[in-house]
Amino acid sequence: MNFFDEKIEKSQNICILGHQNPDGDCIGSTLAIYNYIKKIYGDKKTVKPFLTEFSSKFKVLKNADKISDDKNDGTIFDLCIVVDSSSKERFADFARYFDDAKDTIVFDHHENNTVPAKTSVLFPESIATCEILYNFLDKQYFDKDIAMCLYLGIATDSGVFRYKATTKKTLSIAGDLISYGFDFTSLLDQIVFDNSVAQRKAQGLAFERLVTMCEGKVVFSYLDDDDLNTLNIKKTDIDNVIVYLREISDIEIAAFAYQVGTKIFKISLRSKCDDLNVSDFARAHDGGGHAQASGCMYYGDIEKVRKSLEEDLSEFIKKRKNNK
């Protein structure tokens, strides 16, 4: 029994937190731990996962319906487990559960993690938090549902094994997880590749608005609340727009903005160059992430956001050139 299993054994009430706007790795690691504890202890322990709203496509994962967005749970937890979150600020409105918990632990692969947990398991060289968990969870309790959650996190955070941070170890782990017998082709189709008509229309609109910046090195587009209302689509269903922007040839960075509040835009960033770490850029603009995939916040109307982003990215790229 490792120290993580010992913490679980000693705790009766457990919560699991991730970052706001959760992605596949965050949801996969949350549910892998939830299903792992339930597999071992059943109803003998109370386990509550908390995340902000996420796409309904993740409902294919076992117990996804157990994830709550309740910000007013009165439980004082014996153990708070944090996954895939680089800072306490990214807990959204669930930070109180962390603050009040008797014990805390964080599993994460982001650079410069600042979560003030009592125990930190940090491996920034790992492609995904789910890759870290694969090595920490006791494999005698693995089943196809836990394996599916871990595989999804690894597959999505690696760009379905296309990003350069993917290693031989990553592929070996993915191969072992597939051996548990879930339909990985169907899983990837449903969560990564399948799109609704509304999603395709949103992608089309984003491409109609596409502009180049920084002497053609950056492509940019956006969607605002009016667009989402017209298309009758949720913010959680446009996360793949940036994926298609990144596939444009002869660029170094793809940037996609979408509105998350009055004059507030979330910027998704993807780098195609080893020497342009967009995580560094994002941390300077109220965000964070990874070297090739990060996000941050900009404020103002969309024209102000576009102009400011272009100026900041131009300076960011210029600094890269000066350091060569």
Mean per-residue pLDDT over the chain, rounded: 94
Task: Say how far residue 102 (Cα) sits from the centre of its chain.
Answer: 26
CA distance linking residue 134 with residue 149, whole number of Å: 10
> If pLDDT is split at 50, 70 and 90, which confidence band does 321 have?
low
**Contacts of residue 122, Cβ cutoff 8 Å, sequence gap at least 6:** 106, 108, 109, 113
Of the two residues 109 and 291, the one the predictor is more confident about is: 109
Q: Is the dihedral of CA 205, 208, 209, 210 positive or negative?
A: positive
What is the C-alpha to C-alpha distance for residues 231 and 149, in angstroms, rounded to an integer? 30
For the segment 265-274, the average pLDDT, to the nearest whole number, is 94
The domains located in the chain, with CATH, are 3-193 (3.90.1640.10), 197-322 (3.10.310.30)
Q: What is the mean predicted confidence (pLDDT) over 153-182?
A: 95
Q: Do residues 111 and 279 make contact, with C-beta atoms less than 8 angstroms apart?
A: yes
Mean pLDDT over residues 34-48, rounded? 97
* Predicted confidence (pLDDT) at residue 322 exceeds the cutoff of 70: no
Which residue's structure tokens are 């605002």? 224
- Angstrom CA distances, 196 to 57, 150, 193, stand at 11, 25, 10
Rounded Cα–Cα distance for residues 65 and 68 (Å): 8
